[in-house]
Amino acid sequence: MADHEHPPFAVTADVVAMTLVAGKLSVLLVRRAADPFAGSWALPGGFLAPDEDADAAAARELGEETGLVLEPSADGRTAGTGHLEQLRTYSDPGRDPRMRVVSVAYVAVLPEPAVAEAGSDAADVRWFAVDDLDFPLAFDHARIVGDAVERIRSKLEYTTLAAAFCAPAFTIPELRRVYEAVWGAPIDGPNFSRKVTSTKGFVVETDEHRPASTAGGRPPRLFRRGSASVLFPPLLRAGSPPAPT
Amino acid sequence: MADHEHPPFAVTADVVAMTLVAGKLSVLLVRRAADPFAGSWALPGGFLAPDEDADAAAARELGEETGLVLEPSADGRTAGTGHLEQLRTYSDPGRDPRMRVVSVAYVAVLPEPAVAEAGSDAADVRWFAVDDLDFPLAFDHARIVGDAVERIRSKLEYTTLAAAFCAPAFTIPELRRVYEAVWGAPIDGPNFSRKVTSTKGFVVETDEHRPASTAGGRPPRLFRRGSASVLFPPLLRAGSPPAPT
DNA sequence: GCAAAAGTGTTCGAAATACACCCATGC
DNA sequence: GCATGGGTGTATTTCGAACACTTTTGC
């Protein structure tokens, strides 16, 4: 390893924050004010501070936009609800027209109630359903969002990540709707319920029930997230195989 | 995003190159000559050139040590044999005592015949069985190797990556020994053979056979790598579930 | 022939799928 | 009651684990 003559790099952490909005998988975007791609939508993110690593920078940037504090752990699970994990690093020399910027991208999963669009500016921070992203994003952020969606889709199969989309207490049908929204395919309710409740550590039962909706129906039981982070055996998508990581 | 006052970062690409040596999963290490951790074993790697991205830098560094040229593609598959894919990025502020160094780590998988230790220096580049790594490595490279091993173990389950450990033409038992070496557990030969040959696109049959060994035995058929990169349904490890990515 | 290694056949049980049916609520 | 949504029971089928057994070589 040489230790001189290396060119100047800027390093950023960019976050693909995801949640369910009105039952649709959505990502958080911010409208750029400054020069390159001014007016375009982009991922929240920013430069690493001198004393912080990329995990901390991602958590900080996410907190600045959503008001939520997620402490990333080894497997991405956070102390409370939510999830924050590294996705991959994008380093194409031309990805920022100003200079050499290497971006460490993250995926965050937030429970739906936390959709608070507090943070910095008001109408310049918005959730977009991923299926509605038919306009170009700044930099290579469209590609990053695509990679993040594919990561999340694939991780629902063999981890308990779906619970990160839910509030601390949730029902089995709510969890099922997470799978249906992310995978875009219906899932058999009875079999899903059995699978989830019989997989040790996925969910833990409480003795509470959510009140039935105004449309009627049996009040569903409430569950909390279990201690397991992997799902074994996995919950495989029926049809097409997933793309590799 | 600010565009000033960001501290100077150096960005490196480090490669965890893996292959089977004498039937054991092994990683390529180089002995450091220069100052921090001089004399210690470390991963091959180096700084990104001004005009190259991390993928290209990783491929270049690997080529300088092994003489092999692997062109990384979207899913990590390379044109010929072998495999090169991004692992994750390590950015702890204290990971290099000299300065702020962010390292984009890669995993490379090479076929056993390619163990040529040509490259730069002779005895300062060596393959080590991962189970024999009971000495400390330079920087945080021990952690990176651990993450790489876990990534490879997990990817054998749901991708056709195992074939990257093999020569262009290989037998089913050879492929099975890859799984056994990486997972460290025996696999039933008959069932494995059926699973592999019945999964469309994993391997394609040739009409050649490898000559039987001197110990006798039926000569195994030769196969080549198929076009599939994902394995569906996956080939799950029997016992303990894998750690999440 | 005998040992060794590759590959096939067969059985068994666990688990996913499909779907009929029962339960508990709002109106 | 009746519609709505949650949950259980059960038959079917598919798939993997285990292992007996056949094939094809070297010696």
The stretch B141-160 carries a mean pLDDT of: 96
Q: Specify whether the backbone of B207 is left (phi greater than 0), alpha (psi in -120 to 50) or beta.
A: alpha
**Neighboring chain A residues of B75 at a CB cutoff of 8 Å:** 243-244
Q: Cα separations (Å) of A219 from A137, A155, A174, A190, B176?
A: 42, 29, 12, 15, 51
Q: Hey, what are A159's tokens?
A: 């981890």
Which amino acid appears at position A202 of this protein? Answer: F
Q: Cα separations (Å) of B170 from B82, B163, B196?
A: 13, 8, 13
Q: Hey, what are B42's tokens?
A: 């470390």
Nearest CA of chain A to the CA of B208: how many Å? 31
Reported as a pLDDT band with limits 50, 70 and 90, residue B98 is very high
**Neighboring chain A residues of B47 at a CB cutoff of 8 Å:** 1-2, 6
Give CA–CA dist A73/B173, Å, rounded: 39
Which amino acid appears at position A83 of this protein? Answer: H
Give CA–CA dist A49/A39, Å, rounded: 26
Q: Which of residues 100-159 of B touch A (CB under 8 A)?
A: 100, 102, 104, 155, 158-159
Inter-chain touch B54–A89, beta carbons under 8 Å: yes
Contact B238/A at CB under 8 A:
no
The stretch B86-100 carries a mean pLDDT of: 96
**Residue ranges of chain A whose pLDDT lies below 50:** 1-3, 240-245
Residue B199: pLDDT over 60? yes
Lowest pLDDT segment from A122-126, A127-131, B3-7, B96-100: B3-7
Q: Which of residues 196-215 of B touch A (CB under 8 A)?
A: none
- Tell me, what's the pLDDT at B70? 77
- Tell me, what's the pLDDT at A137? 98
The label of the residue with tokens 């170009």 reads: A136
Asked if B173 and B192 count as a contact pair (C-beta separation under 8 A), the reply is no
Residue B232: pLDDT over 70? yes
φ, ψ for residue A147, nearest 5 deg = -65, -40
Reported as a pLDDT band with limits 50, 70 and 90, residue B242 is very low
H/E segment holding residue B151: helix B141-158
Compare all CA atoms of chain B with the CA of A14 and give the residue at the minimum distance.
B1
Contact B220/A at CB under 8 A:
no
Contact B38/A at CB under 8 A:
no
> Which residue, B106, B10, B102, B103, is CA-closest to B55?
B106
The label of the residue with tokens 């290579």 reads: A140
Nearest to A233 among B232, B236, B244 (CB): B236
Does the C-beta of B211 come within 7 A of strand C? no
How would you classify the pairing of strands A10-21 and A101-109? Answer: parallel
Nearest CA of chain A to the CA of B146: how many Å? 13
**Neighboring chain A residues of B97 at a CB cutoff of 8 Å:** none
Contact A10/B at CB under 8 A:
yes
Per residue, what are the HEC states of B77-129?
Answer: ECCCCCEEEEEEEECCCCCCCCCCEEEEEEEEECCHHHCCCCCCCCCCEEEEE
pLDDT digits (tens, 9 = 90+) for A85-122: 999 999 999 999 999 999 999 999 999 755 555 555 55
Does the C-beta of B186 come within 7 A of strand D? no
- Tell me, what's the pLDDT at B216? 84
Reported as a pLDDT band with limits 50, 70 and 90, residue B101 is very high
Residue B192: pLDDT over 90? yes
Residue B244: pLDDT over 90? no
Residue B163: pLDDT over 80? yes
Sign of CA dihedral B194, B155, A163, A222: positive
Does the C-beta of A50 come within 7 A of strand C? no
- Tell me, what's the pLDDT at B243? 42
Nearest-CA residue to the C1' of D26?
B216
Residues 201-230 of A with CB under 7 A from strand C: 209, 211-219
3-state secondary structure of B207: strand
Reported as a pLDDT band with limits 50, 70 and 90, residue B240 is very low
Nearest CA of chain A to the CA of B118: how many Å? 18
Contact A239/B at CB under 8 A:
no
The stretch B65-77 carries a mean pLDDT of: 71
- Tell me, what's the pLDDT at B144? 98
- Tell me, what's the pLDDT at A84? 96
3-state secondary structure of A146: helix
Nearest-CA residue to the C1' of C9?
B190
Contact A52/B at CB under 8 A:
yes
Nearest to A98 among B3, B98, B244 (CB): B3
Other CB atoms within a 10 A radius of the CB of residue A98 amount to 10
Of residues A189 and B73, the one with the higher pLDDT is A189
- Tell me, what's the pLDDT at A245? 40
Q: Hey, what are A26's tokens?
A: 């959505």
- Tell me, what's the pLDDT at A112? 73
What single DSSP character describes residue A165?
G
Averaged pLDDT of chain B:
88
